[in-house]
Structures are given as C-alpha cells and as structure tokens.
Amino acid sequence: MDLQQVKNDLEQRLPKARYEHVLRVTDTAKKLAEEVGVSVEKAEIAGLFHDYAKFMDKDELLELLKRDEEYELYAQYHAELWHAPVGAMLAKERYGVEDHDILQAIRFHTTGRAEMSELEKVIYIADLIEPGRKFPGIEELRQRIDGEPLEDQMTECIQHTFKFLVQRYAVIFPHSFDCYNEHVRRRKEQ
C-alpha cells in the first residue's frame, strides 16, 4: 500500500485541522506501538484510516452503514460514531486493507469494546491523547499513563472517556460499557 497516496487522499477529503489530527494520531500510535511491542506498520495504517470517513455527508455515511453487520445498533446512536465502522469498510474496499486487527482498530477507535487487541488499544489511546487534543484533564491523563503498561493506559483512558460522557449526560454506546466494565473488573482483580 502506498501510504503517501493515502495521505494525499486524506488531505483532499478532510478539513486541514482534521488532517493534522490524523497525522498526530498516527505519529502517537507509532510511538506507543514501538514502546509496547505492537506492529508499528499496522499502527501507522490504522492511525491514518481512523478518521477516513469522519467528514462524509451524513446521508452517504448512513447508506454505507446499512451494509454493516451492526447497522441496527449503530443507527440507534449519534451519527458521530458512524464514521468508525464505515472507515474500516472503506479502508478495505478502497485500499485493500485485509488485516482484521487493523480493521478492528479503525472500527473501535471511538467506542472501544471488550477484548480489544493491543493494536486496538494503541489506536484508541493515541486518538484520545495526541498532542493537539485540548480538553479539561488531558494533561493529567497524559501524565498518569506515561510509561504505564498498555492495559493500565487503556483503563485510565476509558475511565476518562466515561467521566466526560457522564458529565455531559451523553448516551453511552454498549461496546463502551463492555470495555469499561472489563477494565474495572481487571483492575479490581489485581
């Protein structure tokens, strides 16, 4: 796969700020992958594609989502979540990405899920903590997870996300609950 071609495509399809976010997520994912022994190449591909469908027209996004096995579930939730499964679909269809782990990392970078692979966790974390993110508590989160094992980083990140969503009375996607519960149980068992 020609990653420069993917970057050129992304630069055309995304607003400048989102394109720069994608590049920062990709760099963060590559660094984290190297630190924790995950394929840097896979992290780079998943990072580049994680927001591939982010700024598609909502109606087009919905039409593509209808082909997804979890369409009924996603359709019940905010359209903000739809870009992730559609992005995985388009990475496969337009660029021939066949690696299941990469596709899952793209698909679940927003919601998380139970039993995430290490690559999935890397992309989820990188998307949340990339250096351009500016939201309350991000600096503290970055400090808390710095140098920690990947599992602990993921626990802190999903907990941070839950606090954020609960404070805003946001509806929470079921896969996110599963991810959160898995990490809370793991921490309690330690």
Q: How many domains does the chain have?
A: 1
| 43: containing domain | 3-189
| Token pair listed for 112 | 């998380």
Average pLDDT, stretch 77-98? 97
Task: Kindly report the pTM of this predicted structure.
Answer: 0.96
| Phi and psi based region of residue 80 (left: phi greater than 0; alpha: psi -120 to 50; beta: remaining) | alpha
Q: How far apart are CA 72 and CA 68, in angstroms?
A: 9
Mean pLDDT of the chain: 96
Q: What percent of the chain has a predicted confidence (pLDDT) above 70?
A: 100
| Token pair listed for 128 | 């949340």
Q: Are 158 and 90 in contact (CB under 8 A)?
A: no
Average pLDDT, stretch 31-60? 97
pLDDT at residue 190 is higher than 80:
no
| CATH of residue 80 | 1.10.3210.10
1 confidence band (pLDDT: 50, 70, 90)? confident
What was the pLDDT predicted at 160? 95
